[in-house]
Amino acid sequence: MYPLKFDSLYYEKIWGGKGSRIPRQNVPEGKVGESWDIACHPKGVSVVKNGHHKGIRLDELIKIKGEDLVGSKIPIDDFPLLVKILNTSERLSVQVHPDDDYGFANEGEMGKTEAWYVLEAEEGASIIIGTKGCTKEEFKKAIYENNVEEYMNKLKVKKGDVFYIKSGLVHSIGAGILMVEIQQSSDTTYRVYDYNRGRKLHIDKALEVIDFEIEGKKSNGLKVEMYDYDKIYYCLNKHFSLELYNVLTSISEASDTERFYIFTCVEGSGIIRYKNGEEKIKIGDSVLIPAKLGEYEIIGNLKLLKSYVPDMSKVENEILQNIN
């Protein structure tokens, strides 16, 4: 096995921005709203673009390699994560995602918890995240009276900001933002309000799943400083762990036979060196580290998001060891 790269899947959206904003070559022109960079979902499956397995779909490669690729603790038939880049020129709908129980019962797929890392943001760009002390009844009335934003928590954003979007947290992304999204492999979204753009709304389902008690705020994370790199733990839940590596020169690690890792480069460039070779990585790239890769070294001056399905107690112990 080796670090895997994939051809990105591009999706036009009415709120999408120019494809040229996404930091890579050969992005289609038009209003490219989403780039699915590592995906194994009925609506889009990644295809390997490097090495011996070039041209093979991710779902097919998982069938061939099994635990060597995804790990012994990850279901072979249910790849759990989806990594995207979102690119906005207009605001998205005000929306919410269900939890797993509601998603499976009503949509036949898991719910969606996600996290955002802001790659770029125009001056004054903002997001909506959570409500401002309103009841379900007040919010429902506001939807039909077209003044829902009166009850929304609006935050300005800048490059490097991170936000943890739990299922049940109502949210929206404003114009002029480029961000990485790490999420459960689900495409279930309930639109609450769409600024009169004529698309289908899902008000009843949305009101059933919105949690008005969740506080919407920026994630500050927990920073650990090492000699050659810094590491910030941003999110830890049963669905994924999200960490940010600021690599100054190099970092050495080993893969985990129980789970795969995904690295997404959000700044700079470098190489991933492993036993049988090396793979370049630069801003905008996502790379899957197979569970059986073994030892590897990341060399360069770059920032990387690391996402994976965690053993929560293992990560908690790692954090405690690093801060003591």
Give catalytic residues, as residue numbers: 191
- Tokens 């429902």, located at residue: 140
Rounded-to-integer distance, Cα 34 and Cα 254, Å: 31
Helix, strand, coil % in the chain, rounded to nearest 5: 15, 45, 40
Q: How many CB atoms lie within 10 A of CB 225?
A: 10
Ordered DSSP codes for 51-97: STTTT-BHHHHHHHHTHHHH-TTS-TT---EEEEEEEBSSPPPEEE-
Q: Which DSSP symbol is given to 136?
A: H
| Amino acid identity for residue 122 in this structure | E
Q: How far is CA 50 from CA 40, 82, 178, in A?
A: 17, 19, 26
Rounded-to-integer distance, Cα 246 and Cα 88, Å: 26
Rounded-to-integer distance, Cα 45 and Cα 240, Å: 20
